[in-house]
Structure 1
Amino acid sequence: MANYPENILSISDIEKIIDGEDIVDIYNHNLSGLKKNCIYAMLFCIPLLVIVILFNKINYANYIMWVLATPVVIIFGKQFFIKAWKQIRYFTTNVDTLVALSTGTAYIVSVFNTFYPSFWAGKGLEAYVYFEVSAVIVAFVLLGRYLEYKAKRNITVAIKQLIGLQPSTATVFKDGQLIKTPIKDIRIGDEIFVRPGERIAVDGKITRGGSFINESMISGEAMPVEKNEGKKVYAGTVNEANSFYFEAYKVGRNTLIGQIVKMVQDGESSRIPVIKAVDKVSSIFIPIIGITAIVTFFTWLLFSPDDGFTQGLSSMIAVLIMACPCALGLATPTAIMAGIDNGAANGILIKGDEALENAKKLTAVVLDKTGTITEGIFRVTDMKWLTEATPELKGILYRIESYSEHPLANAVRTYIRDDMRAEPDMKVSSLSGRGLMGETVSRKYYVGTSKLLEEYQVEISDKEKKWIDRETEKSNTIVLFACETALLAIIAITDAVKETSLSAIDRMKRAGLKLYMLTGDSKRSADMTAGKAGIDTENVMAGALPAGKAAFIKALREQGETVAMTGDGINDVGALAMADVSVAMGKGSDIAMEVAQVTVVSSDLNKLVQTINLSKITTRTIHQNLFWAFIFNAIGIPVAAGILFPVNGFLLEPLFAGIVMALSSVTVIGNSLLLRKKPI
């Protein structure tokens, strides 16, 4: 298998994150451990190489080199031998097998020759040692893995930004008291109290009270959802209105936050098809190298009776060292990690393995509407006053809307902020699910829906109803402002098409991609949004249910299209799973992000265009790395076996085989790291 770096997160790391520890702190701790191992190995290798090159004839040189090499091989390199043993037990091989075989052989032979040189002296031969070879291989492979792991830093930071502020404690109601409790100590069945503005710590069901919950991480919709007794609430969502109690029914890794962390773990260890090809080649390559090494030894023994044993052993070790496919093993993962790092630096979190393989082949892109094409942020598009729009009335409206954190209320406040006078003293109360009521000394005012006005017998004329109908057909949301006796103002609020969506759609059209839009809105509303965005209305599916969206993607694929789907809600999950490349917006649900291969932190569609470009340059870098790695092995192994010896007497010593092998790995890593800074 390819030579992968250590996982970003172990199972114990996941538990720590769920318990409230910072993912970046855990990553830095793991990176620090890898860095220390790499530095210590290098520090031991430096004097070892100095002795080999300049002082190999001094007394006790072999013993000094043994002391220097042993910590590198036994302590810092033990992971290779442990993993190789696990592979052998199941009759499989990977790169760790060859690293362990080459370094282990060089080390054991060197220890034997150090302590029993008389064995060779009796045969008239010199007892060579290869401590520097075993240590240098371990040090360079550790360096490669450190560089790969380091390349994951940006994606770790970006994921931290995505999941936002994770609450470390919650207020549990126990024995008649409210007790601040760490998340790790919360159990299923605990009753938890949530204040306005607080983030919900675990998944549960409301037992007392009710509120409006911002569930943008679940549905992708900016509009808070009203929740009453018996309704479910989810970890990571925000309470925007009233205090309430809920009973925990999912804790730990089963919550929304736990699923996001799992997405990180799964995505970090995923593989693209070219990696699978490398794995297959490596499983065949390694046994062949073992046979080649044995044949090399016996060939020297047969054709050079005098010093065949020594030269054969030396050449066999050189073959094993030269064949160590560090460059081959590093070719793909370093490019993938550099590509992931480049994506993360640009706000693109790449999880799916096929995403980097398929993005460059896309022919069609299907876009969800809300939060993908549109902003997901509400703005006032029109405000029709039915009386004189005095600063005093605007101040009353502003005061009432200030009581709510609802996105519609925020849109109204933003719109009238500069035109109002001081807010009057008044009592404001929430009318659950309908709107707000404000009371001054002399009058009551209402802000909400038409149902609220009907309830308080405030009439709406036919003329105003027609105006409301027209605005509704434009996909606008209507908010009404009234006093006890008359309607005062009608406010039209919309979720506008993002400027970035307009530019991204134009870029995709110019690239020859076919564009489609799916939405649950009415056909007329959907067509209007599509027209603004520059999408052909014939490519719009309105009133789409989850099954319909998935069927739409399936139909496109059956027509021979390579399809990308972008979405953010639970209703998009089926379509995301069906697509060749699935993209979730950063404000999407946990399930959508888990299913999707790519998450766009900023919800900017231009990032999809960048993902396509990144796919092209990453795949090109992988192919370059594989070419040089295979060429290196194809040329180096015969030379190490001694094929040039009959021609010009050249024989590659194991030390120089190790140096050449290391330089090849450095070349591959360097080529991959260039990808991190390439513009996309």
Structure 2
Amino acid sequence: MGVPGTTKLQITGMGCASCVGRVEKALAAVSGVETAEVNFATRSAEIVHDRTTLLTDLSAALDEAGYPAALLETEFTVEGLNCASCVRRAETALVAAHGVVEGTVNLATKTAHVRYARGATTPQEIGEALTASGYPAHPRGTVKDDSADDHEINDLAHATLIAALLALPVFVLEMGGHMIPAFHHWVQANIGDQTSKLVQFALTTAILLGPGRIFLAKGLPALRRGAPDMNSLVALGTSAAYAYSVIATFFPSLLPAGTANVYFEAAAVIVVLILLGRLLEARAKGRTGAAIRALVGLQPQTAQVEKGKEVLDLPLGEIAQGDVLRLRPGERIAVDGVVLEGRSHVDESMITGEPIPVAKGKGDQLIAGTVNGTGAMRLRATEVGAGTVLARIIRMVEQAQGSKLPIQALVDRVAAVFVPAVMGIAALTVLVWMVFGPDPALSMALVAGVSVLIIACPCAMGLATPTSIMVGTGRAAELGVLFRKGDALQALQSVKVVAFDKTGTLTLGEPTLTDLLPAEGVDADSVLRFAAAAEVSSEHPIARAITAAYHGDLPLAEDVEAVTGMGLQARVEGHDVLIGAKRLMRAHHIDPGTLATQAERLGAAGKSPLFVAIDGQIEAVIAVSDPIKPGAPEAIAALKAQGFQVAMITGDAKGAANAIAAQLGIDHVTAEVLPGGKVEALDALRSEHGNLAFVGDGINDAPALASADVGIAIGTGTDVAIEAADVVLISGDLQAVLRGFAISRQTMRNIKQNLVWAFGYNILLIPVAAGILVPFGGPLLSPALAAGAMALSSVFVVTNALRLRWVGQQPEPTGPEPPLAAAPAE
């Protein structure tokens, strides 16, 4: 903000009129504020201030007082972004705009993400401010429209072709004579030196005023504003070569003897090569958004909707929550919904990563974008449009792709001074060659100065980080890992400890019958049949586990009675059935015999042992537990092999927690803690070992997910946990944790490679372009070669980022399903 005047803000959190005084006091304490008047009825504040007051200061004061300003977010598509220095200037214009709290610009996506104070400004005013700074901005929808990219590619291709066709004769006429003496003599004899120069002048003028006009139209105004960009460098370089050549053609007497050479071919070829570089760059950048386009393509455009007695094919935008849809075999599901009728198998691999189709029947949930199998179903829409799981995934990926990593701060600082520095180096180069250079000094000074202007490549700097983020986070989404916050990519690199919640994260999250040990001579299947019949009417989780373990028809149970704290008794097919703890057996004077030892062993393993007695005789001991997830042991082992400390923090009992930890090889266990205790446990681990990541899935994990350096939520968990996390694993597969670390590691390595190239390129080649090798017998780089090197630099950065599309090609191993033990008693 930083300008004198009045600012209006919407205030949140004011519950009564007495809050007004506290808000006014907090605002009045901000430096530069003259008066602050708060209206409780409208929940608004009007602040009169001087030019030293910043909106961020006002917002921070309100946050500290407990009455945050209402902030909104919006996005713009931004035109005219060509290099890192453009990004810096656009962001400066955004932050300076009245009412804007934060503004970030992404060169790779050509977008701006803005947080602004509600009531202080509007998206239209922000867009106008950005446009006034030289970067036209247009409001952007939720999903990126690729038609603008296609239009840009087509325009660049057309301009490049025309420029190349016009530049070819210029290049042949000038350079052909240098390379082939016989051709030089032919031109002199048949065309003439002056006529050759006139032809080159005409064609080069057409190039600069036609395909090359973009550099003059954008670069020169940027120079006048005192904010030069990459277009300014190209405009200066080509204009200098062109102007010198025009003087040499029409007014050669103005130049020192022997220096009236023309460089039309340099100006023409520079335009061609830079346009070609931008074309290749645009095409490559188009592929960086492949993940988003693939996700958008998963949503069908129409669906069959029941309207009264009719079934209509309606576009997605006309489908509402509560509508009943018909799903045909092989059809892609259009909305999130619940099955009303029918059965089928649905391919949910795009959400879960699991290739095996999932059986669906009445009451089961369906997800938009997944593919129906061979059955027909009717479903009721529960979420449509932006509310579907698929739409949320797209938003998460886009937010991550548009974010900035802390490492980008270095690039931004360099970009702020880079172009002016290059212009200064070019001017110094010309001066040095004029003073110390051999004859013809003026011509060589021009060549060296133009080469320095052209070879500098802020484009590569600006693209180094965002292109890698775009491709890396897009590839992560394809592998089932959503980076809700892009900076988690970098934060994962500093993690030393990975802490897990237990229930629902390391385990399946629901009791399962894991062991059935019958007494000698007893049939295990018969015991399970009686036990399941007795428990079938109970809603207790253990009862559901026992019932789910039997696959077959169950007899009717009579006189079912729950014995509080002990178990259950019932009569099945004329037999008395008892199921419960050891104390229930004792209450009925039943001796567990040798099965008591088996029960103790099961209990020591963290399981819940229960005895089954029929007609007063002990028949079996069964155990129910929350089994370890398939793949969890391999994931934990892999993390430890990579050098991570692995911990488990759970509210479960110590016995069960220690048993699971022992099976998985986890070293640090904290059990029987409340949600706040999980945060304290994380703090203790952090102080001992360093930064940590926490993996959880439940509502009670939200504080720990928010407190961790990187919070990783299981996507099958609660919305509260997902909202508190930095990274979301779409499925419950813990192998995705490994994939997240692998993608982070490779993306950061890719970013560093890009930055080393972008900075190293300029550090090494700018001196070469300036002619530092000439005193040692080396070449003086021509402007045309400088333009080619500059174009290839940006293409290299984008192409290197595209390598991340192939991260994780090899499938991760997963463990087998834990078997149900059914062994005779020893």
TM over 0.5: yes
**Correspondences of 1:56-455 after superposition (within 5 Å):** 56=174, 60-64=199-203, 72-73=211-212, 97-98=229-230, 100-106=231-237, 108=239, 120-121=251-252, 123=254, 125-129=260-264, 130-154=267-291, 157=294, 183-185=316-318, 192=323, 253=386, 257-297=390-430, 312-336=445-469, 339-340=472-473, 343=476, 347-375=480-508, 379-382=512-515, 415-417=549-551, 420=552
CA distance in 2, matches of 1:322, 1:449: 86
Structure 1 counterpart SS, 2:254: coil
Structure 2 counterpart SS, 1:131: helix
Structure 1 counterpart SS, 2:410: helix
The structure with more radius of gyration: 2
Distance change >3 Å, CA 302–CA 191, structure 1 → 2:
same
1:426 corresponding residue in structure 2: none
Pairwise CA distance, 1:641: 3.0
Give per-residue Cα distances to partners, 1:596-641, cap 9 Å, x unaligned: 4434445443443454455445444444443343333223223323
2:712 corresponding residue in structure 1: 583
CA distance in 2, matches of 1:460, 1:317: 99
Pairwise CA distance, 1:518: 2.6
Give per-residue Cα distances to partners, 1:538-560, cap 9 Å, x unaligned: 62233532x44334334433446
Is residue 136 of structure 2 the alignment partner of residue 5 of structure 1? no
1:539 corresponding residue in structure 2: 669
CA distance in 1, matches of 2:803, 2:305: 51
CA distance in 2, matches of 1:649, 1:247: 72
Given candidates 665, 668, 678, the residue that maps to 1:549 is 678
2:766 corresponding residue in structure 1: 637
2:92 corresponding residue in structure 1: none
Distance change >3 Å, CA 468–CA 280, structure 1 → 2:
farther
Pairwise CA distance, 1:92: 6.3
Determine if contact 1:363/1:513 at 8 Å carries over to the other structure. yes
Determine if contact 1:290/1:320 at 8 Å carries over to the other structure. yes
Is residue 791 of structure 2 the alignment partner of residue 651 of structure 1? no
2:172 corresponding residue in structure 1: 54
Determine if contact 1:360/1:613 at 8 Å carries over to the other structure. no
CA distance in 2, matches of 1:637, 1:354: 32
Determine if contact 2:531/2:546 at 8 Å carries over to the other structure. no
Pairwise CA distance, 1:502: 0.8
2:646 corresponding residue in structure 1: 515
Determine if contact 1:468/1:478 at 8 Å carries over to the other structure. no
Determine if contact 2:369/2:390 at 8 Å carries over to the other structure. no
Distance change >3 Å, CA 476–CA 194, structure 1 → 2:
farther
Give per-residue Cα distances to partners, 1:39-72, cap 9 Å, x unaligned: 5566456546644543448864454455567665
Code of the aligned partner of 1:319:
V
Code of the aligned partner of 2:455:
M
Distance change >3 Å, CA 468–CA 69, structure 1 → 2:
farther
CA distance in 1, matches of 2:421, 2:203: 35
Q: What percent identity do the matched residue pairs reach? A: 29
Distance change >3 Å, CA 454–CA 382, structure 1 → 2:
closer
Determine if contact 2:658/2:669 at 8 Å carries over to the other structure. no
Relative to the length of structure 1, the TM-score reads 0.66
Distance change >3 Å, CA 672–CA 411, structure 1 → 2:
farther
Distance change >3 Å, CA 499–CA 569, structure 1 → 2:
same
Give per-residue Cα distances to partners, 1:350-392, cap 9 Å, x unaligned: 4544434333332211112234312458754246999988899
CA distance in 1, matches of 2:528, 2:497: 51
Pairwise CA distance, 1:268: 0.4
CA distance in 2, matches of 1:309, 1:642: 14
CA distance in 2, matches of 1:314, 1:182: 60
Relative to the length of structure 2, the TM-score reads 0.56
Structure 1, gaps ≥5 residues long: 17-25, 205-216, 219-227, 424-437, 482-487
Higher relative contact order (CA 8 A, sep 6+): 1
Pairwise CA distance, 1:566: 1.3
Pairwise CA distance, 1:655: 0.7
CA distance in 1, matches of 2:290, 2:754: 23
1:573 corresponding residue in structure 2: 702
Pairwise CA distance, 1:657: 1.2
Determine if contact 1:585/1:603 at 8 Å carries over to the other structure. yes
Structure 2 counterpart SS, 1:635: helix
Code of the aligned partner of 1:630:
F
Is residue 142 of structure 2 the alignment partner of residue 14 of structure 1? yes
Determine if contact 2:325/2:378 at 8 Å carries over to the other structure. yes
Code of the aligned partner of 1:464:
G
Determine if contact 2:305/2:312 at 8 Å carries over to the other structure. yes
CA distance in 2, matches of 1:382, 1:135: 74
Pairwise CA distance, 1:466: 4.3
Pairwise CA distance, 1:87: 8.4
Distance change >3 Å, CA 355–CA 156, structure 1 → 2:
farther
Code of the aligned partner of 2:172:
L
Determine if contact 1:335/1:618 at 8 Å carries over to the other structure. yes
CA distance in 2, matches of 1:344, 1:601: 8
Determine if contact 1:364/1:564 at 8 Å carries over to the other structure. yes
Pairwise CA distance, 1:582: 2.8
CA distance in 2, matches of 1:179, 1:472: 58
Distance change >3 Å, CA 4–CA 629, structure 1 → 2:
same
CA distance in 2, matches of 1:661, 1:169: 47
CA distance in 1, matches of 2:480, 2:700: 24
Code of the aligned partner of 2:500:
L
1:498 corresponding residue in structure 2: 629
Distance change >3 Å, CA 251–CA 350, structure 1 → 2:
closer
Give per-residue Cα distances to partners, 1:407-466, cap 9 Å, x unaligned: 9989966x555xx5xx7xxxxxxxxxxxxxx9xxxx856999959999999999665354
Code of the aligned partner of 1:517:
M
Distance change >3 Å, CA 147–CA 549, structure 1 → 2:
farther
Deviates more, 1:46-55 or 1:279-288: 46-55
Determine if contact 1:372/1:567 at 8 Å carries over to the other structure. yes
Pairwise CA distance, 1:179: 8.4
Code of the aligned partner of 2:737:
L
Give per-residue Cα distances to partners, 1:212-238, cap 9 Å, x unaligned: xxxxx99xxxxxxxxx9xxxx999799
Pairwise CA distance, 1:517: 1.5
Pairwise CA distance, 1:562: 0.9
Determine if contact 2:237/2:453 at 8 Å carries over to the other structure. no
CA distance in 2, matches of 1:523, 1:258: 41
Determine if contact 1:378/1:407 at 8 Å carries over to the other structure. yes
Distance change >3 Å, CA 6–CA 539, structure 1 → 2:
same
Distance change >3 Å, CA 550–CA 287, structure 1 → 2:
farther
CA distance in 2, matches of 1:637, 1:492: 73
